[in-house]
Amino acid sequence: MALPKDLLDILACPKCVREPGCTGELEYRESANQLVCHHCKLVYRIEEDIPVMLIDEATPLEE
């Protein structure tokens, strides 16, 4: 199930969001159940429709 927009609107990458000039913007990959921070090259998983926004549980982005 797709994450609701109002939930996506309040999510940001916890690693970089407070860095100067950074917004912590995430790309939502619905089919892969992922939220991707291209700035940090990190992937946050979505598990059973729950975004897991924990830095130590994020995985490196493979490009």
How is residue 27 written in tokens?
A: 């790309």
CA-derived radius of gyration, the chain: 11
The secondary element (H helix, E strand) that includes residue 8 is helix 5-8
| Site for another protein contains 24 (CB under 8 A) | yes
| Site for another protein contains 18 (CB under 8 A) | yes
| Site for another protein contains 37 (CB under 8 A) | no
The phi, psi pair for 5, rounded to 5°, reads: -60, -40
| Site for another protein contains 32 (CB under 8 A) | no
Chain contacts with another protein (rule: CB under 8 A): 4, 6-7, 9-15, 17-18, 24, 47, 49-55
